[in-house]
């Protein structure tokens, strides 16, 4: 199997309920009808990359259940190669999502089959990782598998990108291999022990970093300096999976030869289009849709 991008990460069934407001401790609120959709940080990023015409494979795991079938179908229709996705004897991962009228969300993840992604599975994909231009490591799967995948990429000269969400402690070797490390503002502050100067991220070891800023766009941090990348102004309907849309588009552009700033400029446009639609994978635009939206979002 020859692909330009390998994504290692989670595949979850998203269980989504819209609420007028989030409940407080011990409180019950009524919500909308439940919507079941394909999600998971790894699967989302892989779908976003494929819809931007990237040749991408997901390395992950699902259960042999209806949720697993849902995810395989969604990824396959988008063009994601699934040879590296295992079916294991555990329930497919699930994410329980509440969405408020402003489009913001809260998420609780039950990893399920994602917890079965291990170092042996990564080792079996060694040749595919070595043949790719970019590896994206997206968390919600066990950290030893993530760190081994990044190490294999570094050995082979494959560009390693890691989206540190949810936050986790990375080894110095893993951090040193990343180009870039992608975090949001909260994750950056966690890494920096509460410091707000995100330009200090390079002091932790990565060759470059991208800090996503939501509706404000992103900040690209390189050894030569920082670049602010603004986002188009849109009316957000649902922000679920917007960060995954961003990194999926980012890695596609990097694999195509764009520099990091150019890749981030494209990625913020993809993410901006995605938040104008409900859902995660279902909201992701094709490359043509983003091109046509130029100047309209």
What pLDDT is stored for residue 240 in this prediction? 82
What pLDDT is stored for residue 296 in this prediction? 52
172-196 pLDDT tens trace: 999 999 999 999 999 999 999 998 8
Residue appearing with tokens 């989302």: 44
What pLDDT is stored for residue 154 in this prediction? 98
> What separation in angstroms does the CA of 230 have from each of 81, 216, 217, 287?
32, 6, 4, 19
Please give the Cα distance from 47 to 81 (Å, whole number): 10
What pLDDT is stored for residue 279 in this prediction? 84
Return the CA Rg of the chain: 18
What pLDDT is stored for residue 295 in this prediction? 57
With a threshold of 0.95, does the pTM exceed it?
A: no
Of 14, 244, 259, 291, the catalytic one is 244
Tokens of 115: 């917890």
What pLDDT is stored for residue 112 in this prediction? 98
User: Could you tell me which residues come within 8 angstroms of residue 141 by beta carbon, excluding any fewer than 6 positions away?
Assistant: 8, 9, 10, 42, 60, 61, 111, 114, 115, 117
What pLDDT is stored for residue 280 in this prediction? 87
* Residue 258: active-site member: no
104-157 pLDDT tens trace: 888 898 999 999 999 999 999 999 999 999 999 988 999 999 999 999 999 999
The low-confidence residues of the chain, meaning pLDDT below 70, are 1, 295-297
């Amino acid at each position: 199997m020859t692909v330009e991008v390998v994504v290692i990460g989670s595949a979850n069934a998203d269980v989504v309920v819209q609420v007028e407001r989030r409940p407080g401790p011990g409180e019950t609120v009524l919500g909308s009808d439940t919507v079941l959709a394909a999600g998971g940080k790894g699967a989302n990023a892989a779908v976003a990359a494929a819809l931007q015409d990237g040749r991408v494979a997901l390395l992950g795991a699902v259960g042999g259940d209806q949720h697993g079938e849902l995810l395989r179908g969604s990824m396959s229709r988008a063009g994601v190669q699934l040879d590296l996705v295992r079916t294991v004897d555990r329930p497919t991962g699930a994410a329980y999502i509440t969405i408020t009228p402003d489009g913001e969300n809260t998420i609780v993840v039950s990893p399920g089959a994602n917890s079965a992604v291990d170092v042996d599975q990564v080792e079996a994909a060694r040749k595919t990782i070595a043949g790719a231009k970019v590896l994206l490591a997206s968390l919600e799967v066990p950290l030893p598998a993530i760190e081994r995948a990044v190490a294999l990429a570094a050995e082979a000269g494959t560009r390693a990108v890691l989206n540190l969400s949810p936050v986790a402690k990375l080894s110095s070797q893993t951090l040193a291999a990343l180009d870039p490390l992608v975090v949001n503002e909260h994750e950056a502050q966690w890494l920096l022990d509460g410091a707000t100067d995100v330009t200090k991220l390079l002091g932790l070891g990565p060759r470059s970093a991208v800090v996503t800023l939501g509706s404000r766009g992103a900040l690209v941090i390189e050894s030569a300096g920082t670049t602010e990348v603004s986002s188009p102004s849109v009316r957000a309907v649902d922000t679920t999976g917007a960060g995954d849309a961003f990194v999926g588009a980012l890695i596609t552009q990097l694999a195509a030869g764009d520099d990091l700033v150019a890749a981030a400029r494209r990625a913020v446009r993809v993410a901006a289009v995605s938040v104008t639609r409900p859902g995660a994978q279902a909201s992701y635009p094709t490359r043509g849709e983003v091109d046509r939206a130029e100047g309209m979002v």
